Amino acid sequence: MATFLFDKIVFGPVESRRLGVSLGINLLPTNVKVCSFDCIYCECGWTPKKYKERIVLPLRIEVREKLEEKLNQMLAENQLPDVITFAGNGEPTLHPEFPGIIDDTIELRNKLTPKTRIAVLSNATMLHKKPVFNALLKIKDNIQKLDSAFEKTVRLIDCPNGNFDLDKVVEQLVAFRGKVIIQTMFVRGSFKGSVINNTTEKEISAWINLLIKINPSQVMIYTIARDTPLSTLERVPLKDLNSIADRVKNAGFDVQVSG
């Protein structure tokens, strides 16, 4: 199925299902995906196993200049974003200057558009790096992926690259002490001869138990809305998402549903 890459450092604004009017920041290359996961549902397609050319990331000063230019333009047009969102062509926290870029973004936000939130959409694989962890504590919308309570399911859906230990990831999510939003993609289908379904009773019960342990400020649940690299995936019906959301609410959490 057709997927796409973001061709700019700063892109949008776009209307986000979960965040409102979002101005995106891509800290990865504009011509290739770079990620520590290879999620079967990723709108940016598969993560390359090997790269034909040297990976070139945008410099911290480039990101700052592009963001300042765009915010000034939006300010002149009186159309400021609800949120500045770090997303793009892979995992934003892989950028070696991520903490400094967050500091720059906070400074520009405070100067030009103080009501705008800052969000990071992350897969939680770089939380063991203290500078990354501390940078995420500085923003309001620290959104971390948790697609299952079972490592086998995470490996099937998210396909982590390199070393991955779900128990350690959960420990790091707990360490935020509630200053984190958990985002979960629910999908059904098949992949490499295995059935994919993280909406079963076993999956949901274990996942909610992890939510109780992590104690996030909010839970975002959603399903596929765009093309994915894998054609055997199915959207989870909104009624099923709402049923899951009801259980999350009963567990005491604020929950947002995007069908």
Q: Give the domain extent around 71.
A: 10-258
Question: What CATH number has the domain bearing residue 48?
Answer: 3.20.20.70
Confidence of residue 248 (pLDDT cuts 50, 70, 90): very high
Mean of the pLDDT values across residues 186-212? Answer: 96
Does a structural domain hold residue 188?
A: yes
Does a structural domain hold residue 4?
A: no
pLDDT of residue 52: 75
The predicted model scores a pTM of: 0.94
Does a structural domain hold residue 168?
A: yes
* Mean per-residue pLDDT over the chain, rounded: 94
Confidence of residue 147 (pLDDT cuts 50, 70, 90): very high
Mean of the pLDDT values across residues 52-76? Answer: 94
pLDDT of residue 17: 67
* pLDDT of 2 above 70: no
- Return the number of other C-beta atoms located less than 10 Å from residue 74's C-beta: 19
* pLDDT of 37 above 80: yes
* Number of domains within the chain: 1
Does a structural domain hold residue 3?
A: no
Mean of the pLDDT values across residues 39-58? Answer: 87
